[in-house]
Amino acid sequence: MNSLASLRLLQLASQSLPVGGYSHSHGLESAIEAGSVHDEASAARWIDAVLTHCMACFEVPYLRALHRAWSDGDACSVVARNEEFLASRETAELRAATVQMGYSLCRLLLQLPDLPAALGVSLQRLQEPSLPCLWAAASVAWEIGVAESVRGYLWSWAENQVLVAVKALPMGQSAGQRVLLAVSVRIAGILDALPADLALPTDEAPPVVELSNFAPALAIASARHETQYSRLFRS
């Protein structure tokens, strides 16, 4: 990856990217309200569990598949994988979060000057783009490799979760950085263990990887957040 692509990755993964990521806790705020997450150690456990059971074995494979589809110009595969990913969201809030952030990233990309014209046309045809779908599109447009794209995606998600914990818990900035250091070690292990090639299951072919986002505690926390009386975040 060249120097410009590296800088584009930093821009894409930045919390200042105007896609509304700061307004979502992705279920963490509800876990804090319920007392499941109440300090540095429990925040680290929660983030690690979601990383292990949702991000690594479900969102990452879909992000990689979408990156390949955009790279190949396979519009049908882009639409299919995007729809599958949306169908996997367990609650209304989790689905709304990825659609809102995907839509915002789509709007942003269409306003930036270096987006390839053909990609812009494809983006405008998507009815409900998810965040992984648009993240992959941005990565391809900015010549960010798939491995680097995954690294930035996981880092951005982890940083968001730590910022939520710092805002919603009596947990200081130093504690947040300790959690982020620990999570980064887990992310590095996940990246090192990724297979060189990937094919998601189709009607004709069996799965090459085991896909799972089975996380009942996260789904319950997200569902409860929809009726939480007082909250800072949208999800």
Q: Which of 97-111, 142-156, 194-208 has the lowest mean pLDDT?
A: 194-208
What's the rounded Cα separation, in Å, for the pair 140 and 122? 13
**Whole-number pLDDT of residue 115:** 83
In angstroms, how far apart are the furthest CA atoms of the chain? 51
Q: What is the mean pLDDT of residues 95-104?
A: 96
Domain ranges of the chain: 25-225
- pTM for this predicted structure: 0.93
pLDDT digits (tens, 9 = 90+) for 113-140: 888 888 888 898 899 999 999 999 999 9
> Looking at the predicted structure, is the pLDDT value of residue 197 above 80?
no
For 145-172, how does the pLDDT look when each residue is reduced to its tens digit (9 = 90+)? 999 999 999 999 999 999 999 999 999 9
Q: What does the mean pLDDT of the chain come to? A: 91
What average pLDDT does the segment 11-33 reach?
A: 93
pLDDT exceeds cutoff 50 at 207: no
Q: How many residues does the chain have?
A: 235
CATH-assigned architecture of domain 25-225:
Orthogonal Bundle (1.10)
